[in-house]
Structure 1
Amino acid sequence: MNRRTFLIGAGGALVLAGGTTAWRSSVGSMAAYDVRAKRLRAAAGMPPDVRDLIRYATLAPNSHNTQPWRFHVGPGLIDIAADFSRRTPAVDPDDHHLFVSLGCAAENLAISGAAMGWPGEVLIAPDGHGARYAFASGPMKASALHAAITERQSTRAEYDRRPVPVADIVRLEEAAAMPGVHLILLSGRTQIDKVRDLIVAANSAQMADGAFMRELEQWIRFNPRSAMLSGDGLFSAASGNPVLPNALGRIAFQRFFNARSENEKYARQVDSSAGIAVFIGDREDKMHWIRAGRACQRFALTATNLGIKVAFVNQPVEVAHFRHELSGLIGDAGRRRPDIVLRFGYGPTLPFSLRRPLEAVLA
């Protein structure tokens, strides 16, 4: 019996034992979840409000959906600072992903600000500890990337193996151009297979780490009720897994979530992808991590407009001793630290993740 069969069977057993009403009350409603996700991504009112601008910024990707940011609105500016209370020290001990996420949110601000009548520019603090969106005079500038912000998601599913046309690859490269950041795209199967094997090896190392597993379980939301209560975390249905009551979900995670099944899943997902994108900053510091996040977000939004799905496969970045090997595989000869690894291709749309209320992220 495989893991998914167990989870579905366990859920069925609970229904038989306690009845459909008990099951529904314990896991919540997917319909209600979808309504909340849709409301979160609704178009801004007219005239747009600065709160709508920040709402768009919070739709940026972030590790474990922790949403590790705080926004402060001041005269002519919005500051974005790290919320270290929401860091993930096991998977991200040096806060690399946290600052990449700040860059993704800053890029959303810049794109949405220009499209909603709040033009400006992104300024990164000299020490890299945060970013500022400074308003400037200028006309409203419509952007296809703005519309993609509400549609972008990290699609953790198998894709359909179709190649991406060369013209679209060029558009992705152009969109991701950012000073101090380099994008390397891999579409040859030999290269992709080597990166796949590195992802699997790094994933095995992570899953053998008790601290990593405890931290991951802390951020999993096994059902829509839990996801809606917290507004954060990794909702099981968003990665194609069934929903379960919390107690049963924890039992299933601890007993059946293992390296073998996860490695097989990642191998299938990478094999089904059209290519791999790796972002590398010129230097290993917070300023370049924020820049890498901005470049990555522009890539992901452009992919969304092209009907291309993306998903993070950052394991070789997260496990330090695999970074040098990844750098060598992509032709960088181990000179610089890779920042982000994405797989891309054509695939399904899964349930969208939620975000916390704006009051929770406003400083």
Structure 2
Amino acid sequence: MNQYLPDAYTVRAAIALAVRAPSVHNTQPWEWRFSGRTVELRADARRHLRHTDPDGRDLLVSCGCVLHHFTVAAAALGWAAQIERLPEPGLLARITLVPHDTRDGDIALAAAIPRRRSDRRPFAERPLLVRDEVFLAKSATDHGALLRLLDDAPQLSALTGASLAARELHRADTDYGIELAAWSGRRYAPDGVPAQNAVHATEAPRVRDFADAQLADTAEPDGAALTVLATRGDEPADRLRAGEAASAVLLTATRLNLASCLVTEPLELTSTRALVRDCVLDGKLEPQLVVRVGYLPEGAAPLPATPRRPIGEVVRPFGHGYGVGLPIPAQLRRH
């Protein structure tokens, strides 16, 4: 065996850990291929939510999350990932694996992957430590994004208003409702939002109206810190980078024993996204994600892990056509 080339078992092990990454409605919209030291990541066009995510933002952000998860997993297994982003139409990333001396921090961050959960329950009313705020913000800036903590009433009011408006617009959209119902309230499925992990929608911007939610909400106020993850631009590369930064923030939060959850609904519609950009970020940055971070109430039961597709469904050998013959989404054809 060539010690300078990863074996197939190692690459598949890294991908198996990477696909624990969060994705919009747990669609897991990614496809992996590898040969030797080269690994490629593509979006799976079959899993693009056309009514929830008409411009493909959530699709790219989801793929950015799994890309960062992969680099974390590979580092823990002794391989550094050198990434070429959007090198050709339809290809999100070409990754070259080179030998790497694994450090304690690599292992600690990879160990956070199976522990992380998208927790939509209310968090305890306990402020974040300043030290933790610094760590979370640095994890975003290290990956080309900014994490803005919302700490004043006008910002929080604007985000709440955008979330409520997005919810009402979505409730009036029949196609969106059909799509949401198809991807949530799942039981015994390898993808989608499981009923046992969804909370009855009561408070914006915390909860989306997922179908058949089994977690009862409480009357307790939500003490989560609300943050907006933003980029300076809004091109496909920015959205991919935003996903990588979001992954870093979530894994850092998990290492710090913080609960977390990504929120995208207020950013999926042009009007409500503009409200967040102009009233929360002063029109200077592009909002990509809302991230809730905080502490679970004492005695809160751990959530079960959400299911994942079998690794054989997401890994394909080189030479297979993109998306099994499906067209490349428009937002990827331009790059």
Specify if TM > 0.5.
yes
Secondary structure of the structure 1 residue equivalent to 2:99: coil
Paired letter, 2:267: V
Paired letter, 1:201: A
**Are residues 1:80 and 2:41 paired?**
yes
Paired letter, 1:282: R
Task: Report % sequence identity.
Answer: 30
Q: Which residue pairs with 1:353 in the alignment?
A: 306
Deviations 1:101-152 (A, max 9, x none): 1111111111111111122222212457401221013322332211101111
Please, what TM-score do these two structures have when normalized by structure 1?
A: 0.75
Gaps of 5+ in 2: 1-7, 209-216, 317-335
Are the counterparts in 2 of residues 284 and 336 from structure 1 also a CA contact under 8 Å? no
Paired letter, 2:256: L
**Are residues 1:362 and 2:294 paired?**
no
Gaps of 5+ in 1: 1-46, 242-258
Describe the shift of the 1:173–1:155 C-alpha distance in structure 2 as closer, same or farther (beyond 3 A). same
Paired letter, 2:198: S
| Distance of 1:182 and 1:240 partners within structure 2 | 28
Secondary structure of the structure 2 residue equivalent to 1:283: coil
| Distance of 2:88 and 2:148 partners within structure 1 | 27
**Are residues 1:315 and 2:265 paired?**
yes
| 1:78 Cα deviation from its structure 2 partner | 1.2
Paired letter, 1:49: T
Aligned length: 294
Are the counterparts in 1 of residues 43 and 63 from structure 2 also a CA contact under 8 Å? yes
| Distance of 2:46 and 2:272 partners within structure 1 | 28
Are the counterparts in 1 of residues 162 and 272 from structure 2 also a CA contact under 8 Å? yes
Describe the shift of the 1:271–1:201 C-alpha distance in structure 2 as closer, same or farther (beyond 3 A). farther
Which of 97, 100, 106 does residue 61 from structure 2 map onto? 100
Q: Which residue pairs with 2:95 in the alignment?
A: 133
Q: Which residue pairs with 2:124 in the alignment?
A: 160
**Are residues 1:172 and 2:140 paired?**
no
Are the counterparts in 1 of residues 137 and 146 from structure 2 also a CA contact under 8 Å? no
Secondary structure of the structure 2 residue equivalent to 1:120: strand
Question: Would you tell me which structure has more helix in proportion to its own residues?
Answer: 1
Q: Which residue pairs with 2:213 in the alignment?
A: none
| 1:313 Cα deviation from its structure 2 partner | 2.2
Are the counterparts in 1 of residues 160 and 205 from structure 2 also a CA contact under 8 Å? no
Are the counterparts in 2 of residues 116 and 140 from structure 1 also a CA contact under 8 Å? yes
| Distance of 2:230 and 2:206 partners within structure 1 | 26
| Distance of 2:199 and 2:186 partners within structure 1 | 12
Question: Would you tell me which structure has more strand in proportion to its own residues?
Answer: 2
Secondary structure of the structure 1 residue equivalent to 2:242: helix
Secondary structure of the structure 1 residue equivalent to 2:315: coil
Please, what TM-score do these two structures have when normalized by structure 2?
A: 0.81
Map 1:1-363; keep pairs closer than 5 Å: 49-126=10-87, 129-142=91-104, 143=106, 144-178=108-142, 180-223=144-187, 227=188, 230-240=189-199, 261=202, 266=207, 271-333=221-283, 335-347=284-296, 348=300, 349-363=302-316
Secondary structure of the structure 1 residue equivalent to 2:42: strand
Deviations 1:207-226 (A, max 9, x none): 11111100001112443xxx
Indicate the structure (1 or 2) with the bigger Cα radius of gyration: 1
Describe the shift of the 1:125–1:265 C-alpha distance in structure 2 as closer, same or farther (beyond 3 A). closer
Secondary structure of the structure 2 residue equivalent to 1:49: helix
C-alpha RMSD of matched pairs (Å):
2.5
| 1:179 Cα deviation from its structure 2 partner | 5.4
